[in-house]
Every structure is written in structure tokens, then in C-alpha cells.
Structure 1
Amino acid sequence: MRNVRKSKFLWASAFIISLGIAGCNIFNPTESINIKDNDAEALTYEGYKKIRNNEYSEAEYYFNKAIAADSNYSQAWFGLMKATLNRMLNGTQETNVFSLLAYVNASRDSKVPFSGMSDETAAQLQTTIDSVNVIADQFIKRDKAGQTDSIVTYKSFSEGYMVLQMMKTMLVLRKTTADMNGCSLQKNQDNSCDMASVLNNLKNDPAEAVESFNAVFKTCEESPESMTKMFDSYLQGFDNLKEDAQRTAVSSMCGALAKETEDAKNNEDQQAKTLNIIIGQFGYSDIMDDDGDGCVDEEIYDGEDNDGDGEIDEDVSDKTNEIVYDNDIILKNVTAGKTAIRDLRVVKKAGPNEKYTTVDIDMNGIIIANGKNEAEKDRELENEWKFVHPKYQDRVASDDHRFVFAAGLGFNPQKLPFEEFIAYKRAVAKDTHYPPSYNLEFRKKYIGGCWANYNEQRFMKWFEGRN
């Protein structure tokens, strides 16, 4: 089994790469354009002259006038984004593209995003990104509707746009660390903050994080090359696909995650589930029962119901587990235009990485690492990490994608309407303080699932690390 990757700051390396990728578009203020004689073009030309002279407010004035003269003129929109970005990045003495790079480099070592950045600068950067996004989002909407001249398109600056969304996500993570013990935002100050804690802490206030991730995945869906360049280590399952197929698969994957985050914006329960999926894909699952069924990280991200409770991907484990994908079937699905997660995450077999050998998924008191001999370890591996139907085709034919541990579980013992049963699960998932509002007998009676395997000692253990 491979060792679990010990990562530094999550976005740092990708951000540094992406600044180089994006250097030729939205972050570069010095491009010139060919001018013509009509007003919009002449005004736009004047705007670019002002940018080259670092006169960003004046540039914004000319670009806004150009857009008023001809709202289809794409180069004016693009210039307005550049001028606004550079004017606002210069809003404090310490903020520009090069200083951002320095902050990210510091974050690589400290594990705290934008470490060393003052609160004033962070607030200024947040305002900058929001302001540029307002312009970019208007332009993107027009571009998709065919309401521009298509000289500049969303695709042509999508990598720079993704950098903005990455920065926004980094600021959300930075804010998360502010109230965490052991985390420091001060430059060169040692801290014990770890990325798993930072990411999972987002679930305490998930709305802003979901919105930020949504912008990243939407951009990736439109321009999957950006994600492929920046996040190749996260393309598990697609790394053996050829270029065109990989591009399509990455776009579809990002599209699925974009839809997940879009649907979650106004749904608190969906937000927690969505963040679980994203965090699991980054390799930082929290190894807790997040959905209230008593089972721990019982799902893999495959768009299927692995525990038989009627929900899909509601409490996923790390993608760093020993999961083998069926690339042949994935390629056929991609070629056929299928875009659902179940078609992009076709699993041949699954097993635990080293970290998960100490996880008792079904809470029956037995873990793989405690096996007295290899036969016992193999038996528990068989019980918790093998599919009821080992062959994928058999799983599809029987519509049964459960793991063996789930075959003996009985969910919803009272046969409640599904919505009522799920409501109980949600309530139990949030019942994290001891003494609980819902005792063990209640959980066994109305939810079932892995709660059937609990005794009082294991029930007490369920509350560890939650408060």
C-alpha cells in the first residue's frame, strides 16, 4: 500500500504554475491591439495606452466608454478586466502579482494560505477579485449568448480567470485558519496547522467555500486544459486516457462537480455533502460519520450507492485509497458522450491505503491493522473493501454496488417515508455534542445501518474530535 501523501499548502504549486500559464492574458497589462477608426475601437485603444502607462483609472474610463458605444466589442471588456485588476491590486503598497507569488511560496511551507499577508491586504485582494468577477461574469454571459464579436472569448482568458477563482478559494481557506488552534497567519511563524483540518473546518461555514469551488469547477468545465496543467496529480482515473479523451473526461468531471456546487449554494445539507466530495478528492477526508448512519467514510466517489441506504456519495473516503478504475469502460463512456460520475468513475476494485487500515468503517470493532495474521487481515479486507459483486458488469446488472460490509445492514427499520428517514439521518449527523439529543437506541431503531454494530463504548468514540 502506498503511503498517504503528506501535502503542503494545497493550491500553492498549482498557483505558481498557473501564474505562468496566465501571464499572457488577464494578469499582463502590457498587450497592444490593432486599432481601427470607429469609436469603440478608438476608445479601447486609448484604454490600452493608459494601461501601458500604468494609468489604470483612466483606462477604466475609456473601456467603459467603449462598451457603452458598442457592448459587443470584446477587447474593451477584456481591457476593463485588466485595468480593474491592476488598479485594485495596486490598492495597497504590498499587493501585485509578484507579491502574491511570494505569499504563495510562504504558504507552501507554512500550510496556511497567503501566510504573511495582512488582513488589510487580504480584504483588498478579496474586493479586487469580486470586482473583476463582476465584469468577467457579465462578459462570459454575453460570450456564451453570442453577444460579442468573438475576437476575445471566455476561452481565451479562462486560465487567468481560473487563477482568480483559485485566489478566492485561497482567501476562504485563509479565513478558515484564523480561528483554528495552532494556525498562524504571520510570516515565518511556525504552526501545527494541517491542511486536512483547514479543509474540513470549511464545513462549519460552507456557503462561501461552495461558491468559490463552484467558480473553479465551472471554469475547468469550459477549459479543462487549465485543470489538466495545474492539477494533474488530482486526475486519478483519467491519467491513462489519451489527450482528447482526457480533456473530455476532465471537462465532464468538472461539470459534475460544478453542478454539485451549484445545487448546494442554497442547500445547507447539500453543502456539507459537496464539500465532503471535494475534500475527499483532494485526499483529506475527515474519517468521521458525516451523514448520521453510523458508518465511517463508507462511500467511494463513483456515483453509486455503496452502503445501500438510498443515498449516493454522501460520505466519501479519500481518493488516495487503492482504487483501480476500468479505463476501457471509461473511455467507451467518454466516447459515447456520457458525463455522469458513475460513467467517469468506473471502479474495477477498491482497497484501503495505509491510513484506512485503522478505520473501522462499519464500527463492528474489527480493523484490518489489528489482524493477528495475514489471513485475518485479508478476511477483514474482504469484509469492508470488496464489492458484493466483484465484477462491474454484475454490479450494473443487479443494480447493487454495495460493499460486503453493507450486505448485512438494515437501513430504515421502521419503513419510514424516505424523506422522513433522511431527515432523521441529517438530525443525527448534527447531533455531535454529548450527551446527545438522540441516544444510541433511537439511532438503532430509526436509522439502523452501522448503528446496529455499536455498543456504548463505540458510541462514546463516535463523538471524539467533533467539538
Structure 2
Amino acid sequence: MKNVLKSKFLWVAALAISLGIAGCNIFNPTESVNIKNDDADALTYEGYIKFRNNEYTEAAYYFRKAIEADESHSEAWLGLIKAKLNEEKLNAFNLLKYANAKRDGALPLLDMPEDEANELKNAIDSVFYYANAFKTLDEQQKLDGVVSMKTKSVLDGYMVLQLLNTMLVMRKTSMGMEGCQGSAEYVKEHCDIGAILNGAKNNSKEVVESFNEIFVTCQENPASMSEWAGMLVKEWGEVDNVLTDNAQSDAFKYMCQSLAEETKDTDDPAKLSKTMNVLSSQMSFSDMIDDDGDGCIDEEIYDGEDNDGDGEVDEDLRDKTNEITYDNVRISQNVMNKKTAIKDLRVIAEARPNGKYTKLDIDMNGKTYDDEDYTIEWDFIYNKYDDRVKHSDHRFKFAKDLVFNPQGYELDYYINLKRLVAEDSNKDAPAYNLDFRKEHIGGCWVNYSEKDFEKWFEGRH
């Protein structure tokens, strides 16, 4: 299946679309509230009266009092969240203004004044304080069940705030990047979303954590993801045609589940680097450099398999705007059978390069896809998926004669050694020279000349 959602900036448009959805729920007044005789209900009723009169601070006061009287009162919690949203002026129209969803690649909020960005971040954090408390109590089944965090309309609004928070985190990350400093025109040209994601690979903990929150919520609310945030998780356009409504929801749920798992561990630097590569590739911003230190350039596709035979899976991913064809029938069967691994959701029938990758020499052997009849860098050794499974070999042909880990190190040690090589950035005095890389790493390094070796460092600066 070809990627039918190729725009790099659809996730920004997703915010605008989701705000249209969310405008019907936590960003707007509740039409009614059940009145009972106990104090919590009376206080909640009074809170909604104040809310409808646009007296948001007073409304928040009554909702808090209701929660103090009965912590399980879900309508009081929802009322408090709504009151805080409006007290902080986080309504749908203001959020759309903040999003400023341009289609020029620039990160929304990037040109926002610092004091305004800080004010917006503090406002979102203040709402999250209550929303997360509500979510925790709901997960622990300590609420009365009248309103739930699992209610689609409530989760829609929650996801909007998470997405906006992620933009603010990326904005903060961009502040220390060379390409994001200078004149407005310079920043516009050098500081798009892809530059920020790729530039954050060595300082990405907060970015990954913010994305993790989105994917976890998506996992709990796949219906909303299938409506709009599917723009974050691409390539499902044609699969939708052969899935039932429930199966479509499951497909998004499983994909979000996989990405939530991928972004969960932020304490391991090596795992963090790989995770940032996954995020970059899924949003069509791969950097076209050797991220894992094996000398090969963007040699993996995101399919949950080891495409080069180095013992790692999905560690140095290609841009997802490549012409990847998926086995829709097999994916549909896997979804119906509740298979949830990436390899079950990304069954690849064929891979072909987009325009920029036709000129990329992935294995540095002097040939690219543009050369006549040279498709080795994009052909599987076994064309049929069942044959790849049968032989436990998901490699591309370019990797058939490559030898990784020629010294036979323990895999963890070898992977760590590759990471050290990948971080080696001084071409004038490299910590690991070309001979060392050929002898201890192997892989594509065997195809490098000293001139190629010097060029390898250019991507690090």
C-alpha cells in the first residue's frame, strides 16, 4: 500500500481538525447536570451556574468544594477541568490561533514570544494537573461513572492539549539549535519540524516523553486517532477499505500501543536515540545519515524486522514518504486475529525509493538506485513475505554479503560500540579510524574509501 498521507505537516493540520471535534466537549459548557440533594451535587450545580455565567474562577471554587465533599464526583472533576481551561483562556478559538497551522514546514509556536510561550505552557500544565488527577481516579475506578476519562469527547480534548504541549516542548528544544537562531527568514529555512526532531536526537528525553503521552492516550482512544491523529501514524488509508469499523479501531489501537511502547523508556541513551529515529521517520523527516554507526545510511524500513542483518531492529530508518507497498490482506488478517506487533501491522510487499532516495548510496558501494537496473538496495533477498518468514531473513539484497560484528562480540557490547562510533564527530582526530571500523564494526564500512570516510563526518555538523 502506498503512503497516501505524504505531507510532512499533516500532524499540524490534525490539531486544527481535532479542535473542531473537541470544540463540542471539554472546551464548551455542559448543557445539563443532574441535581441531587447531597452537598457535592449542590456545589457542582452551583459551579455550572457560575460557569454558564462566564465566572470561571468562582466556578472552579465550587467544583473544588464539591470534590472535597465527594472525590468520586466525576461531573465536578469535568467541571473543574472546563473551568480551568476557560480561566486560562484555553478555548478552541485561542488554541487554533496558537497552532497557526502553516504548511511551510515551520513548527507552530516557533515565532511566539518567549513570555507568551511560557504563559501558555503554564496554563496547559495547570489544566493537566486536574485532568491527570481525574484520569488516575478513573483508571483506579474511584469515580461514580457518570463521566469517564474514557469518554471519547473527553479524551479528544485531552489529546488536543497533549499535542499542543508537544509543540511547546519541541519549541523549547529548538531554542538551543544553531539553525533555529537568527533572522526570521533564516529560521524559516533551517528550523522546520524535521530539523528540530533530528537535532534533538542527543537531547530528546522531554520530546519523547511528550509523544509517549499522546500515544498512550491514543491507545485508550483509538476512535479519535482513526478520525484525525491517524495523520501521525501513516499508511492506513487503503487498509481502511478492507477492515470493519471495529478492526480499523483495533489497527490504530495496536499501532499507538506499539509507538507508546517504543517511546516508553527514556533513561537509556541508546534506546532514546533509536526512538527519535522512529519518530522522525514516521513523520517523514529522516536525516539521511548513518545514525547507528555501521556505515550504512538509512538502511532500515519500519517493519519490526532486521533488514540489514546486524542484530538490531528498526534502528536507522528511512523516510516514510518512500513508496512502501503493504500486504493489505495479511495486515487485515493480523488485525482481526489481534496480532499487535509492528511486524504484524507493517507487512511489506515491496519497497521503492522516493525521489531523494534514488540518489542515496545506502551501502556506499558507489552505486545508487538511479544507476541502470540497480535495485539491490531496495529488493528483498526473498521477495515474498512468507518466504522471508520461512527463512527468518528480512534483509535487503545489499546486505547479503555484508559482515556485521566480525569479531563476534556479545550483541549488547557490539551495539554499544556502534553507538560510540556513531557519536564520533571529529573528522580531524576521529576516536575510531576507518581501519578500526572495518575491523570491529564491519557492515558497510568495508565499502568506504578515506575520502568517503571524511565525507561521513559532514552529516554530524
Same fold (TM over 0.5): yes
Partner of 1:395: 388
Residue 226 of structure 1, CA deviation: 1.7
Are 1:279 and 2:280 matched, yes or no?
A: yes
Structure 1 residue runs of 5 or longer lacking an equivalent are 90-94
Give the TM-score taking structure 1 as reference length: 0.91
CA contact (8 A) 2:286 2:317 kept: yes
Residue 46 of structure 1, CA deviation: 1.5
Structure-to-structure mapping, 1:365-376, within 5 angstroms: 365-369=366-370, 371=371, 376=372
Are 1:62 and 2:62 matched, yes or no?
A: yes
Is the alpha carbon distance of 1:419 and 1:188 closer, same or farther for their aligned partners in structure 2, counting shifts above 3 Å? closer
Partner of 1:133: 128
Moved more, 160-169 or 425-434: 425-434
Structure-to-structure mapping, 1:31-430, within 5 angstroms: 31-89=31-89, 97-105=92-100, 107-109=102-104, 111-156=106-151, 157-181=154-178, 183=180, 191-192=188-189, 193-233=191-231, 234-237=233-236, 239-241=238-240, 242=243, 243-263=245-265, 265-369=266-370, 371=371, 376=372, 378=373, 380-381=374-375, 383-430=376-423
Matching residue's letter, 1:388: I
Moved more, 162-171 or 222-231: 222-231
Give the TM-score taking structure 2 as reference length: 0.92
> What secondary structure is seen at the aligned counterpart in 2 of 1:324?
strand
Matching residue's letter, 1:244: N
Residue by residue over 1:300-320, the C-alpha shift from the partner in whole angstroms, topping out at 9 and shown as x without a partner, is 110000010111101111111
Is the alpha carbon distance of 1:183 and 1:317 closer, same or farther for their aligned partners in structure 2, counting shifts above 3 Å? same
Residue 456 of structure 1, CA deviation: 0.8
**2: CA distance, partners of 1:7 / 1:333:** 27
**2: CA distance, partners of 1:86 / 1:27:** 8
Structure 2 residue runs of 5 or longer lacking an equivalent are none
> What secondary structure is seen at the aligned counterpart in 2 of 1:262?
coil
Residue 131 of structure 1, CA deviation: 2.1
Moved more, 348-357 or 177-186: 177-186
**2: CA distance, partners of 1:112 / 1:237:** 25
**1: CA distance, partners of 2:105 / 2:358:** 29
**1: CA distance, partners of 2:4 / 2:318:** 13
**2: CA distance, partners of 1:346 / 1:9:** 25
CA contact (8 A) 1:239 1:246 kept: no
Partner of 1:454: 448
**2: CA distance, partners of 1:454 / 1:418:** 24
Matching residue's letter, 1:246: Q
Residue 56 of structure 1, CA deviation: 2.2
Moved more, 189-198 or 54-63: 189-198
- Give aligned-pair identity as a percent: 54
> What secondary structure is seen at the aligned counterpart in 2 of 1:67?
helix
Residue by residue over 1:392-421, the C-alpha shift from the partner in whole angstroms, topping out at 9 and shown as x without a partner, is 001111111111111111111111111111
Is the alpha carbon distance of 1:460 and 1:308 closer, same or farther for their aligned partners in structure 2, counting shifts above 3 Å? same
> What secondary structure is seen at the aligned counterpart in 2 of 1:323?
strand
CA contact (8 A) 1:302 1:347 kept: yes
Matching residue's letter, 1:463: F
Residue 231 of structure 1, CA deviation: 3.6
Moved more, 308-317 or 63-72: 63-72
**1: CA distance, partners of 2:281 / 2:119:** 31
Residue by residue over 1:143-198, the C-alpha shift from the partner in whole angstroms, topping out at 9 and shown as x without a partner, is 22322122111122111000001001111222233344554799999831333212
Matching residue's letter, 1:428: V
Residue 99 of structure 1, CA deviation: 3.2
Matching residue's letter, 2:248: Q
Is the alpha carbon distance of 1:54 and 1:163 closer, same or farther for their aligned partners in structure 2, counting shifts above 3 Å? same
Matching residue's letter, 1:143: D
Residue 366 of structure 1, CA deviation: 1.2
Moved more, 112-121 or 7-16: 7-16
CA contact (8 A) 2:74 2:145 kept: yes
Matching residue's letter, 1:230: W
**1: CA distance, partners of 2:81 / 2:183:** 31
**2: CA distance, partners of 1:398 / 1:47:** 65
Which protein, 1 or 2, shows the higher relative CO under an 8 Å CA cutoff with sep ≥ 6? 2
> What secondary structure is seen at the aligned counterpart in 2 of 1:464?
helix
Partner of 1:26: 26
Is the alpha carbon distance of 1:109 and 1:101 closer, same or farther for their aligned partners in structure 2, counting shifts above 3 Å? farther
Is the alpha carbon distance of 1:32 and 1:274 closer, same or farther for their aligned partners in structure 2, counting shifts above 3 Å? same
CA contact (8 A) 2:381 2:396 kept: yes
